Amino acid sequence: EIVMTQSPATLSVSPGERVTLSCRASQSVSSTLAWYQQKPGQAPRLLVYGAFTRATGIPARFSGSGFGTEFTLTISSLQSEDFAVYYCQQYNDWPRTFGQGTRVEIK
């Protein structure tokens, strides 16, 4: 199965800062890569799919990039509501697999 590796595990940032999260696939997944946000006690929310397409209603400060095995989620100016755990997921092959998550916490 395709192993997804996210880095870093935790990011401590201040509101207003720019944040870059990384996701690496153990083999190419083309552009079939999604990013999700999960807050405590909630179900995840789709942020980005197709590596760079924002889901409906997602603010423009979230942007995705990458292709193949290297992907990035960037939050241009972190807002208070953005403190959460972020997961990448590939949907190119079975089984679908997730990264272990990056926690974005308040510095």
Q: Which of 49, 62, 71, 86 binds another protein (CB under 8 A)?
A: 49
* Cα 91 from Cα 107, distance rounded (Å): 33
Q: What is the size of the binding site for another protein (CB under 8 A)?
A: 23
Q: Which of 24, 72, 74, 101 binds another protein (CB under 8 A)?
A: 101
Question: How far is Cα of residue 102 from the mean position of the Cα atoms in its chain?
Answer: 8
Stretch that binds another protein, among 15-23, 47-55, 67-75, 76-84 (CB under 8 A): 47-55
The CB-of-33 to another protein minimum distance in angstroms stands at: 9
Residue 71 and residue 22 in contact, taking contact as beta carbons nearer than 8 Å: yes
- CA distances to 27, 36, 84, 106 from 103, rounded to whole Å, are 24, 12, 6, 10
Q: Is 97 in the site for another protein (CB under 8 A)?
A: yes
- Output the six-digit token pair for 5: 């590796």
> Which residues of this chain interact with another protein, rule CB under 8 A?
32, 34, 36, 43-46, 49-50, 53, 55, 87, 89, 91-92, 94-101
